[in-house]
Chains A and B, each alone.
Chain A
Amino acid sequence: MKRLLEKRRPIWIILGAGLLVVAGVLVVAAFVNPQSAGPGPEQTETLSATATSLAPTTPAETSAPETSGAQASPTPGSIAASVNGYTITQSYLSQTVKLNTVLGRLSGASVLDERETLQRLIRSQLIVQGATAFDEPTDEDVEGFIASLLQNWGVSDERLVQELEAVDLERAFLEDTIKRLLTVEAAVGSLESEGNNLGEWLREQEEDAEIMVFADLIEEEEEEEASPTAESEDEDESPLPTPEAQSQVPDVAPNFTLDRAGGGTLTLNDQLKEGPVVLVFFERCG
């Protein structure tokens, strides 16, 4: 991942993703260029106020985290996630979710929740970091895309702006988001033209990348578990793969007896006699 990062100018910092509909569902990915375009004064303040791994983007303003496992409760200006040192701010994530909500209302499409949106942002960032050669979209491309969306939805530009303003978003935010979407699409095209299977490629990137999620998105997670069907439908439509269908978590923990490190065995039901149990599965040891 680092090798790939060095090939590209380190210009992109993530910033958003969501869902649009144009005769189907497209994933919108949004990125903000903190060096040439700038994240804006609000984000600059929030970045400097939050200590996390931001060396590639704001080296003088932040310090490294004590440990990657330390996750603070989100505040409006905090970092939602970090991908190979590039950050997604909580405020940008929230704005992107709001944008998705507006677009969902206009298009009739289902809307990604915050957790799903963050997941898309992380993957979009991995894609743009990993792709080596693609054309970046022009302003004309962006406006053409927005015009085709509005035409498909039968919505005027005035109404679009009205809906955006109702949730304190400017049209420029949509334009930025569309630009990032087209950038990700171009990057995906570049990766696939090199013979990569996007799903496999993403899994490899996720394994190698340093991804830290700071956002506290538990409520959304619980909602997902309550509606696994809706989520799997969404996954089917998405060009960006997500993990296989959500687990059907059992209501009651099945009892088991396993060998313990250090010798002996442990039986879940015996342990439960002593109190509640937190059971954590690790993919591998270490």
Chain B
Amino acid sequence: MAVSPLSDIEDGVQGVINPPYPLLADPDHEVAEAFQVYDLLGTGYAAPATFVIDTDGSIVWSYIAQSRTDRPSANIVRDQIP
């Protein structure tokens, strides 16, 4: 699932990008803060970040971006899924 800070995620957005996963809105960045990724890059937004969470809720892997374009590849993330 993906979390965006925009509060106005609408059907249209979902339709346009049509991601095969839930797209969630975190306009008050509460979840970003809970995961300790809010404003890490000084942008006033969540830093791009990826968490792999096991069924017991434990975070088994994470990747916190060092820049806005810094993201792990899908293959890398896939290999971390328990």
Give the interface of A toward B (CB within 8 A): 69-71, 73, 119, 122, 203, 206-207, 210-213, 216, 218, 221-222, 225, 242-244, 246-256, 258-263, 266, 268-269, 271-273, 275-286
Question: Is the beta-carbon distance between B32 and A256 smaller than 8 angstroms?
Answer: no
Question: Is the beta-carbon distance between B37 and A281 smaller than 8 angstroms?
Answer: yes
Chain B 37-82 interface residues, beta-carbon cutoff 8 Å to A: 37, 39-43, 45-64, 66-70, 72-77, 81-82
Residues of B within 8 A of A218 (CB): 63, 72, 76
Given A254-B34, A261-B25, A283 and B45 touching (CB < 8 A)?
Answer: yes
Question: Is the beta-carbon distance between A249 and B64 smaller than 8 angstroms?
Answer: yes
Question: Is the beta-carbon distance between B26 and A279 smaller than 8 angstroms?
Answer: no
Residues of B within 8 A of A258 (CB): 3, 24-26, 31
Closest A residue, CB atoms, query B19: A261
Residues of A within 8 A of B4 (CB): 282, 284-285
Chain B 4-43 interface residues, beta-carbon cutoff 8 Å to A: 4-6, 9-11, 13-14, 17, 21-26, 30-32, 34-37, 39-43
CA distance A252 to B66 in the complex (A): 22
Question: Is the beta-carbon distance between B51 and A279 smaller than 8 angstroms?
Answer: yes
Residues of A within 8 A of B35 (CB): 247, 249-250, 253-254, 279, 281
> 23 pairs across A/B with beta carbons < 8 Å?
A73-B75, A119-B66, A119-B67, A122-B67, A203-B42, A206-B67, A218-B72, A244-B40, A250-B35, A253-B51, A253-B58, A254-B35, A255-B57, A262-B23, A269-B57, A276-B54, A278-B52, A278-B77, A278-B81, A280-B2, A282-B5, A282-B46, A284-B5
In this complex, the interface size class of chain B, counting residues with CB under 8 Å from chain A, is 35 or more
Question: Is the beta-carbon distance between A71 and B24 smaller than 8 angstroms?
Answer: no
Given A203-B42, A211-B67, A280-B2, A247 and B13 touching (CB < 8 A)?
Answer: no
Question: Is the beta-carbon distance between B41 and A281 smaller than 8 angstroms?
Answer: no
Question: Is the beta-carbon distance between B55 and A283 smaller than 8 angstroms?
Answer: no
Q: How many A-B residue pairs have CB under 8 A?
A: 187
Give min CB distance, B70 to chain A, whole Å: 6
Given A253-B51, A261-B24, A276-B82, A281 and B9 touching (CB < 8 A)?
Answer: no
Give min CB distance, A14 to chain B, whole Å: 15
CA distance A252 to B57 in the complex (A): 6
> Taking each of A213, A251, A269, A275, which has the highest tally of chain B beta carbons within 10 Å of its own beta carbon?
A213
Residues of A within 8 A of B50 (CB): 278-281
Residues of A within 8 A of B2 (CB): 280-282
Apart from the given pairs A70-B73, A256-B31, A277-B52, 19 other A-B contacts in the complex at a CB distance below 8 Å: A206-B68, A207-B68, A216-B73, A225-B64, A243-B42, A244-B40, A251-B59, A253-B57, A255-B57, A258-B25, A260-B25, A266-B1, A276-B60, A278-B51, A279-B1, A279-B51, A281-B50, A282-B4, A282-B48
CA distance A252 to B4 in the complex (A): 21
Question: Is the beta-carbon distance between B36 and A249 smaller than 8 angstroms?
Answer: yes
Give the residue of A122, A213, A243, A272 whose beta carbon is less than 8 angstroms from that of B55: A272
Residues of A within 8 A of B69 (CB): 206, 210-213
CA distance A282 to B41 in the complex (A): 12
> Taking each of A206, A243, A244, A286, which has the highest tally of chain B beta carbons within 10 Å of its own beta carbon?
A243
> Taking each of B46, B69, B77, which has the highest tally of chain A beta carbons within 10 Å of its own beta carbon?
B69
Question: Is the beta-carbon distance between B31 and A273 smaller than 8 angstroms?
Answer: no
